[in-house]
Amino acid sequence: MYLLIPAAGSGRRMGSDRNKLLLPLLEKPLLAWTLSAAKAARSLRWIGLIGQPEDFQDFKEIVVSLSMTKMVHFIQGGATRQESVFRGLQALPAVAQRVLIHDGARCLVTPELFDRCAGELLHCPGLVAAIPVKDTIKMVEPSSYQVRGTPDRRQLWAAQTPQGFEVERLTRCHQEGLRQGWEVTDDATLFEQCGLPVKIVEGEETNLKVTTPVDLAIAEFILRQRGEGG
């Protein structure tokens, strides 16, 4: 299975002066945790790491420090996640039929989740790891802060990555998104907007996306619980 890792963001909400994926988490850069999980996942053969050129030197040092046993290719990212993934798709070898996409910022992902998604992807055109929502969610009118409704929580799932797709179809969905000017925060949304089916694969509660400083603290706590960091 092929894996693309979008890692070309800036981490604005983290409030740091560089890509949050280079911030230390228990003495290792955040991205190193994501890559070690990918390294340990048996189903993955090829990894495309999507980054900004100014980060490539640091990324290379991480890859070397992990003695990665599978091929890691460096792909130049774009201005948005959507653009970065589109570039990643174009950099896949022509023989790639299916691809998993996993955000570099979800550094607590387990090899088992990668392998489970890779297995499921052999039986469906599109999938997304997700977990049932724990909170009650309100739909809110942005200008007045008036609550417009409360969707039934039993139908709500919080989307994570990995997400997986047939390469040819996802590429066409990205092209359609470009034509239509859709701006989305994950790839499943493009698939859905094109009327293609997306299946849920049970994700992991600990598979959080490190977005703000509090997420970094929670990630450290979870890793220590797993016995990492001495």
Q: Which residues bind Mg ion (CB under 5 A)?
A: 9
Identified binder of ligand CTP from the candidate list 1, 38, 41, 77, rule CB under 6 A: 77
Tokens (6 digits) for 54 = 């100014």
Q: How far is the CB of 162 from ligand CTP (least distance, A)?
A: 12
* Positions 159 through 218 that interact with ligand CTP (CB under 6 A): 209, 211
Q: Which residues of 51-76 are buried (b: 16+ CB within 10 A; e: fewer)?
A: bbeebeebbeebbeebebeeebebbe
Q: How far is the CB of 13 from ligand CTP (least distance, A)?
A: 3
Closest residue to bound ligand CTP by CB: 9
Question: What are the residues whose beta carbons fall under 8 Å from the beta carbon of 179, sequence distance 6 or more?
Answer: none
Identified binder of ligand CTP from the candidate list 59, 84, 87, 198, rule CB under 6 A: 84
Specify the residue, 20 or 174, whose C-beta has the smaller distance to Mg ion: 20
* Positions 93 through 152 that interact with ligand CTP (CB under 6 A): 103-105
Q: How far is the CB of 156 from ligand CTP (least distance, A)?
A: 20
Q: What's the CA dihedral at 85, 194, 171, 125 to 10 degrees? A: 100
Specify the residue, 147 or 217, whose C-beta has the smaller distance to ligand CTP: 217
29 binds, among ligand CTP, Mg ion, none (CB under 5 to 8 A by kind): none
Q: How far is the CB of 52 from ligand CTP (least distance, A)?
A: 8
Q: How far is the CB of 211 from Mg ion (least distance, A)?
A: 8
Residues in the site for ligand CTP, rule: CB under 6 A?
Answer: 6-13, 20-21, 50, 77-81, 84, 103-105, 209, 211
